[in-house]
Structure 1
Amino acid sequence: MIYEWRGASSERLNNLLNDYKGEIEQKELIEVMRFKNRNDIENILKDAREGKHNISDYTSSENIKYVQVKVEDKNMFIPQMFAVK
């Protein structure tokens, strides 16, 4: 990672990419390192991101403990939490 890139705007990043044209190799990070060798966690995150996850079909696994929680008020949206000042 080039230090100049940290916190840079998209225009600055494009300019830096042009400046370092031949020296930079672009790669996409495809391996999940944080949960390496923990397939249960990788799979549940992948399913959730793809919108295929159904919590009612899930049971606990080696790395994930499924705990049901009762909530009295199902209206979890609180406008004050998302207010922009």
Structure 2
Amino acid sequence: MVISDGAPVDDSTLSVNSGDFLEKHLKKMVKFIENKTEIEVLAIGIGHDVSRYYDKAIKITDVNELGDVMISQLSSLFETKKKFH
């Protein structure tokens, strides 16, 4: 589960690379994890739509929603897994 407040930013990295370096890297790594591993990735964007980076993404508008959304999503994940075992 990834909690995000928007696009990836790191001043040191951006000072020696192109402006879209971190965004491209994030997209590449997420796609690899989603398509080539057994790891399930879910992203929660706080005030930002992060669906351009993650296939499974939820946007919340207020940080006060975070706890409930996390518990709900984790519960759903384990309920689904339980059905397969």
Class of the TM-score when normalised by the shorter of the 2 chains: under 0.3
Normalised by the length of structure 2, the TM-score is 0.25
**Is the strand fraction higher in 1 or 2?**
2
**Is the helix fraction higher in 1 or 2?**
2
Normalised by the length of structure 1, the TM-score is 0.25
Task: Compare CA radii of gyration and give the structure with the larger one.
Answer: 1
Where relative contact order (Cα < 8 A, 6+ residues apart) is larger, the structure is 2
